[in-house]
Amino acid sequence: MHEMSLCQSIAELIEDAARRERFQRVRTVTLEVGRLAAVEPEALEFCFEAAMRGGRAEGARLEIVATDGRAWCLGCGREILISRPLDPCPHCGGGQVQVTGGTEMRIKALEVE
């Protein structure tokens, strides 16, 4: 699963930030995960712990914040919010929806010491 390579990217981004911002340890990593991102939170947490080992964020708490899944409904021609990729439009019930946002994954903030 690519959760591991995502967590390795997180580890690298943290070490970059540590050099820039001069911190020694990370207490909490706040991650923004789109509701439509193809990642499994449990796998993410599992990999996170392993990938942070030996770095400044070893033992850090992972805080996952969900962001909206956004889509465009072709049926009613407007922007809608969905929580899963195949959810129908909440207004018209139509299944022709094009995902427009909420697939991303961002490091929002770090609590450091």
Q: Residues interacting with another protein, by CB under 8 A?
A: 1-2, 5-6, 9-10, 12-13, 17, 21, 23, 27-28, 31, 33-42, 61, 63-66, 68-69, 74, 81-87, 90, 95-99, 103-113
- Quote the CA–CA distance of 14 and 17 in Å, as a whole number: 5
Q: What is the DSSP letter of 95?
A: S
Q: How far is the CB of 67 from another protein (least distance, A)?
A: 8
CA terminus-to-terminus distance, the chain = 31
Residue 47's binding partner, choosing from Zn ion, another protein, none, with beta-carbon cut-off 5 to 8 A by kind?
A: none
CB nearer to Zn ion: give 31 or 112.
31
Using Cβ positions, the residue closest to Zn ion within the complex turns out to be: 89
Q: How far is the CB of 39 from another protein (least distance, A)?
A: 8
Q: How far is the CB of 103 from Zn ion (least distance, A)?
A: 16
Q: What is the dihedral of CA 52, 58, 60, 63, to 10 degrees?
A: 0
- Quote the CA–CA distance of 40 and 59 in Å, as a whole number: 20
What angle is formed at CA 49 by the lines to CA 68 and CA 4, rounded to 5 degrees? 65
